[in-house]
Amino acid sequence: MSRVLLIGWDGADWRILDPLMEQGALPNLEALVARGQKGVLRSTIPTHSWAAWPSFMTGVDPVDHGVYDILETVPGTHKQYPVSYKSIKERTFLADLADAGKEAVYIDLPLTFPPPDIKGKLIAGGVLPKGRDFTYPADLPQTLEGAGVPWEINGMSWTTYHNKPDPYLEEALRVTGKRVKATEWLMDNSDWDFLMSVWVSVDRTQHCLSDYVGPDHPDYAANRKTQRYNKVVDVFRQVDDALGMMVDKTNEDDTILFVSDHGFQSCSRALHMDHLLKRLGYLEFDASNVIYGPMQWGPMRKVARKVYDTLGLHGKVSLKQPVSWSKTKAYTSIRSTGEGVNINLAGREPGGIVDPADFEKVRGDVMDALASFVDPDTGRKPVKEIHRREDVFQGKYADTAPDILMVPAEQYSLTHAKSAYEKADWLAGDHRPEGVMVAVGPNVRPFETEPKLVDVAPTILAALDAPAGIKHSGRILHEVVGSDAQVEVHEVAKQGGPSSTEQPVVTDAEAAEMEEHLAGLGYID
Ligand SMILES: [Zn+2]
């Protein structure tokens, strides 16, 4: 039986990787592409890691696994917790591989905290609270430490390095360097049918330094001639070396998949969706915004963190969502990317003020206002596409999906700004749906139709001849595993356990600490 090796580069996009390959900076990826088939892998809407990796794990769209944002709201309140593995309300292929008795190794896969029971080894990825078990088996960190390849959690909080690219790059290279060593050790010391690792330095670096590697960024041509250019490319060289190391440990019979959770586009402009809604007359802030405002970005945040650390307050100061609910008709409900807006509906939201009879009218007005908004500084519209919830989402958890969904225009991020709209500051790129895929293996042939992220889980199960516990919305990529490959479906109960909001998996203090780190990653402000 052949094995499957999967290498994930969070946020990778051919728009950035192709020019790097042409320059010879990514020889291992280039060699992999030469051996197999290259394609664009379509991500989810909303387009960010916290909705996309669960779709990767389940083979279903966000509407059927229920994770739309990095934070989830406790029903009937405005209290929010960071999402966790327990927030994924559908069975994952991790559970299917475990039930099929497959030996699997998962390294740094986002949203695998708290670590599920599997057969094999797992290091949870994403944002982790300190001092909690984050691996399976739980003593894996000690094993790695004893082997001289310690694992470091979190890191690469790019927003906390506001306009300080060099220290940011040093941290990205240092933390990732450790992860390369641990990954090599895990590959050498594990039997595996399936092994995957996710490399997040690509995403983090592109957020703040796409102006060095994104040919569509207005500063790209000038930045390419600088000394720093090489150091930014080093982040890509480092993960390319890791890719080469991992591919070298496979056989001709093995299937190799190279994927991203979403693609990337350059940004020179940024919005703050709540501030834009205020400007358009649909939202009011609380007075407390004045107090919290200055801590929300860059150097002030860093100072605030130092104060918290010194006083032992770290993790105890939560960042407020400073909306005045009694005066607000619409608010940002996907805070990590600004892609989702909700109507403050009476009977659904606590303190909702929009009468259900007026819902369609208000939603239509808000959609018109957002879609027709023109950035006065550029004369361009920041919102490329706008959709009603029911036009995008039809499935089990549609009722918790945002009422309005948006896709940003080229050069725009719908988040990361301090005001309604402004020149992007220490933000150079943000997500887009067009990600990457390379497939190599004995059965690989050209893609007939564009592969999707939700196709990956059924394809892995088909390659490993493991039954599925659910019907996937994605398809088996026969171009990867051959025409005859199938997945038997034995429907089983959902992976079980209450969701994070029913029974929080972290304490309030841990949630606040995680939110601080999420803010550092630019996911919330
Ligand atoms: Zn990202």
Dump pLDDT digits (tens) for 457-480: 999 999 999 999 999 999 999 999
**CA 110 – CA 262 distance, rounded (Å):** 13
The pLDDT score that the predictor gives to residue 77 is 81
What is the amino acid identity at position 103? Answer: E
How close is the Cα of 187 to the center of ligand 1, in Å? 27
Ranges assigned E (strand) in 35-168: 37-42, 71-73, 80-82, 104-110, 120-125, 135-136
Distance 417 CA to ligand 1 centre (A): 15
Report d(CA 137, CA 135) in Å as an integer.
6
Task: Show me where the domains of the chain are located.
Answer: 4-262+433-520, 268-285+323-428
Q: How many Å lie between the centroid of ligand 1 and the Cα of residue 357?
A: 38
Q: How far is the CA of 521 from the centre of ligand 1 (A)?
A: 8
DSSP per residue, 359-413 = HHHHHHHHHHHHHH--BTTTTB-SEEEEEEHHHH--STTGGGS-SEEEEEPTEEE
Distance 359 CA to ligand 1 centre (A): 32
Backbone phi, psi, residue 214, to 5°: -100, 105
CATH of domain 268-285+323-428: 3.30.1360
User: Residue 429 C-alpha to ligand 1 middle, in angstroms?
Assistant: 9
The Å distance, Cα 11 to ligand 1 centre, comes to: 6
* C-alpha of residue 37 to centroid of ligand 1, in Å: 25
| CA diameter of the chain | 64
Report CA(225)–ligand 1 centroid distance (Å).
26
Please count the helices (runs of H) and the strands (runs of E) in the chain.
18, 18
CA of 471 to the centre of ligand 1 (A): 29
**Is-above-0.75 flag for pTM?**
yes
- Whole-number Å distance, alpha carbon 49 to ligand 1 midpoint, is 6
Q: How far is the CA of 50 from the centre of ligand 1 (A)?
A: 9
Q: Is 467 left (phi over 0), alpha (psi -120 to 50) or beta?
A: beta
| CATH number for region 4-262+433-520 | 3.40.720.10
Q: Which residues of the chain have pLDDT under 50?
A: 289-301, 303-304, 306-319
- Give distance in angstroms: CA of 430 to centre of ligand 1: 7
C-alpha atoms less than 13 angstroms from C-alpha of 145 in its C-beta half-sphere: 5
| Lookup: tokens for 43 | 């991500």
How many Å lie between the centroid of ligand 1 and the Cα of residue 266?
12
| Whole-number Å distance between alpha carbons of 87 and 91 | 11
pLDDT digits (tens, 9 = 90+) for 137-170: 999 999 999 999 999 999 898 988 988 999 999 9
Ligand 1 centre to CA of 59 (Å) is 20
Please name which of 52, 105, 107 lies closest in space to residue 239, comparing C-alpha atoms: 107
C-alpha of residue 489 to centroid of ligand 1, in Å: 33
**Separation of 426 CA from ligand 1 center, angstroms?**
14
The C-alpha atoms of residue 178 and residue 197 are separated, in whole angstroms, by 13
Residue carrying the six token digits 């009011």: 284
Buried b (16+ CB within 10 A) or exposed e, 305-337: beebeeeeebbebbbebbbebeebbbbbbbbbb
CA of 64 to the centre of ligand 1 (A): 22
CA 336 to ligand 1 center in whole angstroms: 9
Tally of CB atoms within 10 A around 304: 18
Which residue is listed with tokens 């969070």? 10
**DSSP H or E segment with residue 432:** strand 429-432
**Alpha carbon of 405 to ligand 1 centroid (Å):** 18
- Crossing angle of the two packed helices 228-248 and 14-22, in degrees rounded to 10: 90
The DSSP string of 160-218 is GGTT-HHHHHHHHHHHHHHHHHHHHHHHHT---SEEEEEE-HHHHHHHHHHHHH-TTST
C-alpha 272 to ligand 1 mean position (Å): 17
- Distance in Å, CA 107 to ligand 1 centroid: 18
Mean pLDDT of the chain: 90
Distance from residue 384's CA to the centre of ligand 1 (Å):
19
